[in-house]
Chain A
C-alpha cells in the first residue's frame, strides 16, 4: 500500500557496475529505494513491477541502448509517464540531445556528474512522485466518499418516495373519514328530526282524530274545530321549521365568515331543543362575554351539536336524575371560549385520552360511530386553528371550545 513516509523508488540503469555504485553513493542518504538494472531489458522488466518515480538511464548500453529502452517504456501505457533522465558520457551533440527528448526524456546529464546537480534534479522528481502518490490517495478516498454519498442520496430518494406515498394514503384516509363523518352527521340529523317530530306528530294525530270522534258522538261544534285547526297549524309550522333549521344547519360552509358565538349556540339549540325537552334536560346558557368568531359557521355549530348530543346520550345511558347542561360563553384574549358542562357523571379516566380518537366509542355499534369527536377536533383545530379539549368536573364532563 502507498505510504507517505516510505522510501521513493528510483531506478538506475547502467551496464557498468562501477557507474551504478557511484550513482548509488551520490544518492545515498536521500531516503530513496534505489533499484539497479544492468540492461535495458532488466529495466523494462523492473518497471513493469514497480512504479518508479524516476529512471536514471545510461545511454550507452550494449544490446539495447537507453533510447531504445525509453521508446519501449513510452509504448507501454503503464510506463509511459515515467520520468527518464539520460546519463551520457558522450558529446553534447545536439542531434543526440534531440533524440533523447524525442523519446521522452525529461532531462540530460553528462558525465562526470555533478552530485549536487543530480541530487537536486532527483529531489524534484521525488517530490513530484510523493505529491502524485498523495493525490492518488486522496482521489481514492474521494471516490469512496462519493460512492457513499450516492448511496445516501438513493436512500433519501426512496425514503421521500415512501413518505409521499404515506402522506397520500393518510390524505385518502382523512377523506374517507370526512365522508363517514358526514354520513354519521346525517344519520344524527335524521335521528334528531325523529326526536323533534315525535311529540308534534302524536299531538297532531290526536287533535285530528278528536274531530271525527266528537262528530260521531254529537259533540262537534265550530269552537272545537277552530281550536283544533289552530293547534294543528302550529304543530305543522313547528315541524316545517325543524326541517329548515336542519337543512341550514347541515349545509356545508363555503367560506369563513364572522359570526357571533351566541347566535351559533342559539341555532344549535334550536336543533336539539325538542329532544332535550322531551328528555327533560335543563339547558342554561351563561354569556359572560359576546365574542365573535371568524370561521366556518355551520361546522362550528355541528361541533357544539356533537358535544350536546353526547351529553344527551350520556344522560340516557346513566339515567341521570336531574339532567342539566350549562353552556358558558366567554373570551380569552382574542379567542372565544365556550364550555359545555353536564352532570352526567363524567368520562371514565381510562378512556379520557381516547375520546378524540377516530372510531373510538363507548356506545354500542348501533349508536356510536366514534367519528363525532374526532371530526370535531379536526374542524376546530385544523380548519379553524382553535383548541378542543375535555375534562371532568365534580359531577360530569366539561368540553371546552376555543377559537
Chain B
C-alpha cells in the first residue's frame, strides 16, 4: 500500500478579525480534508509557516509587523514552491506586481471585496497543481 500522501494544508493570514474568521471557517467547511491555519499578521504568519509548512498561503498585503510582501519573500526563501493567493484592496494587480517586483511568483491575485467563489476557484487550481 503506497504511503499516505501528506495532508495538504493552507494558511490564511489576515489582520481583520471577522474577515479572517469567515474565510477560515468557510474554507474549512468547503475543503474538510485540508488543514487550515490562521495568522493575524506577517510575523505570526511566518512563525506558523515554519511550524506547519502549509502548501498554500492566502494572505492580505497590508498588515502590521511584517507586511504581506515581506512575509511572502521570507517564505519563498524557505519553501520556493509554496502557492500564493494574495488578497488586495488597493488597485488590485498593479500594486502587487510592483510590490513584489520579479522576485516572487504570485499564483493568484484576488481583489477586495473578496468573492468567495473566486477564492474557491483559486484554491482548487492550486490544489490541482499540488496533487499532480
Chain A interface residues toward B at CB < 8 A = 198-199, 201-207, 209-210, 213-214, 217, 219, 231, 278-280
Contact = CB atoms under 8 A, between A and B. Distances in A.
A217 B63 contact: no
A358 B93 CA distance: 34
A209 B18 contact: no
Interface in B106-122: 112-116
Given A210-B25, A217-B29, A199 B16 contact: yes
Q: Lowest 6 CB-CB distances: which A-B pairs, in order? A: A280-B64, A205-B113, A206-B22, A202-B113, A202-B112, A209-B116
A210 B116 contact: yes
B23 interface: yes
Contacts of B30: 213, 217
Contacts of B112: 198, 201-202
Given A198-B112, A206-B116, A219 B18 contact: no
A203 B87 CA distance: 13
Contact of A219 (B29, B63, B115, B116): B29
Given A202-B19, A202-B89, A279-B62, A214 B114 contact: no
B26 interface: yes
Contacts of A202: 16, 19, 89, 112-114
Contacts of A219: 29
A392 B89 CA distance: 33
Given A198-B89, A199-B89, A213-B116, A206 B62 contact: no
B97 to A, nearest CB: 17
Given A201-B112, A209-B115, A213-B30, 11 more contacts: A199-B89, A202-B16, A202-B19, A202-B113, A206-B18, A206-B114, A209-B26, A210-B22, A210-B25, A217-B30, A279-B62
Interface string B57-76: 00000111000000000000
8 contacts: A199-B16, A199-B89, A203-B18, A205-B115, A206-B19, A206-B116, A207-B18, A213-B29
Contacts of B26: 206, 209-210, 213-214
Interface string B79-95: 00000000001000000
Nearest to B41: A280
A278 B62 contact: yes
A205 B114 contact: yes
A213 B19 CA distance: 15
Interface string B8-35: 0000000010110011011001100000
